[in-house]
Structure 1
Amino acid sequence: MTINAVIFDIGNVLIEWQPERRMAERIGVARAAQLFEAFDVHAMMTRIDSGEDFATVIHETAAAHPDWHDEIALFHSDWTAIAQPDIPHSVRLLRALRARRVPVFALTNFGAANFPLSAAQFPFLTEFDRHYISGEMGLAKPDPAIYAAVEADCGFAPESLLFADDRADNISAAAARGWKTHLFADPADWAQTLIDYGLLTKDEAA
């Protein structure tokens, strides 16, 4: 079947999401390791991705962990220094698909308030034909309901959607609905998948 839309995850597909690395750069390797052992940073972010308020969750979490208050607060005050840099080859693939007039969507676990901060930092995040932001939807991957919501909104058959994500659980949930999927490891492999589906030429995918 023809691919009617290509769907990108954002974190670790278009921009890096490696908070352990970024925090190590800011507060030191040993202190960052202790931070991530002391409490579950990713669980905090999941609350935000699922629709809770960005600032409220971080400030409440910081207050609940006074020994780590200042470090946790950085996830709010220094968000754009943590959720970065971009992944240039992936950005080129996004733009090459748009140049070919292939509909391109974003489906991302991202908070409703911090996504605009990243979009201001990385304007290519505004270039999608449709945005599906989990924090705005009140649904997060890999909940099957978020994939069903995408299908209902765009009107395309599941088997005509090609989705790239760096997490196997998110990919499995999409594949279970019939989506074509690509488990993202690096931009070169994703480029080859787009070539294999006939969506880009080798030169366009470079």
Structure 2
Amino acid sequence: MTPAAVVFDIGNVLVEWHPERHYDRLIGPERRKALFAAVDLHAMNLRVDLGAPFAAEVAAMADAHPEWRAEILAWREGWVEMCSPAIPGSVALLRRLRARGVPVFALSNFGVDTYATAQGVYDFLKEFDAEFISGHLGVMKPDAAIYERLERDTGVAPGALLFADDRPDNIAAAAARGWQTHLFDGPEGWAARLVAAGLLPETEEVA
């Protein structure tokens, strides 16, 4: 079946997300390893992705770990640097699909505040036909409920959705619902998948 709509994850599909890389630059690899071993920053980020206020979560974590206070607060101050750069080839594919009249949806684990910040930095995050952002919905991938919400709200049948995500667990959850899927490992492979699906002509090249 030719897909009726395309669904994009955002982190590491349209925009790179590498907190460890940012902290390696900021405080060096060894101190970064010690920080991440002592403080569960990824758990903090998951709470934000489920809708917790970003600034308050970071401040609470800093209060709980005063010995790492400056480094934890750097998660807030340097968030844009962690969520960068954009992946130009993927952005070009999103825009080419829209130019051909293919509906394009976002399905991403993202906080309310952080997504608003990202949209202020990256204009293409305002170009989706519909957005399904975990912080707004209170549920996140790979929970089946967020996939069901997209199906219900868009009215597109599961088998008519083509979804790209960089995480195998998120892909597996979508495939279990009958979605067509692509495990993202770069714009070139994603472009080839879109061509194979009949959504883009073979002459399309990744920017």
Using structure 2 for the length normalisation, give the TM-score.
0.96
Partner of 1:158: 158
- The code of the aligned residue for 2:32 comes to A
Q: 1:97-108, aligned counterparts within 5 Å?
A: 97-108=97-108
- The code of the aligned residue for 2:90 comes to S
Partner of 2:203: 203
Distance of 2:45 and 2:202 partners within structure 1: 37
Distance of 2:33 and 2:188 partners within structure 1: 31
- The code of the aligned residue for 2:119 comes to A
Whether the 8 Å CA contact 1:50–1:138 is kept in 2: the answer is: yes
Check if 1:184 corresponds to 2:158.
no
Whether the 8 Å CA contact 1:92–1:205 is kept in 2: the answer is: no
- The runs of 4+ residues in structure 1 deviating greater than 3 Å are none
Partner of 1:25: 25
Whether the 8 Å CA contact 1:13–1:165 is kept in 2: the answer is: yes
Gaps of at least 5 residues in structure 1 are: none
Partner of 2:78: 78
Gaps of at least 5 residues in structure 2 are: none
- 3-state DSSP class of the match of 2:120? helix
| Deviation readout 1:16-54 (Å, 9 max, x if unpaired) | 011100111122222112111212221111111111111
Q: Over aligned residues, Cα RMSD in angstroms?
A: 1.0
Using structure 1 for the length normalisation, give the TM-score.
0.97
Partner of 1:134: 134
Alignment coverage as a number of residue pairs: 206
Partner of 1:91: 91
Partner of 1:7: 7
- 3-state DSSP class of the match of 1:73? helix
Deviation at 1:205, TM superposition (A): 4.0
- The code of the aligned residue for 2:22 comes to R
- 3-state DSSP class of the match of 1:113? helix
Whether the 8 Å CA contact 1:96–1:205 is kept in 2: the answer is: no
Distance of 2:59 and 2:129 partners within structure 1: 34
Distance of 1:46 and 1:83 partners within structure 2: 15
Counting aligned pairs with the same residue, the percent is 53
Distance of 2:105 and 2:19 partners within structure 1: 25
| Deviation readout 1:83-109 (Å, 9 max, x if unpaired) | 111111111111110111100010000
Deviation at 1:66, TM superposition (A): 1.0
Partner of 1:116: 116
Deviation at 1:203, TM superposition (A): 2.6
- 3-state DSSP class of the match of 1:185? coil
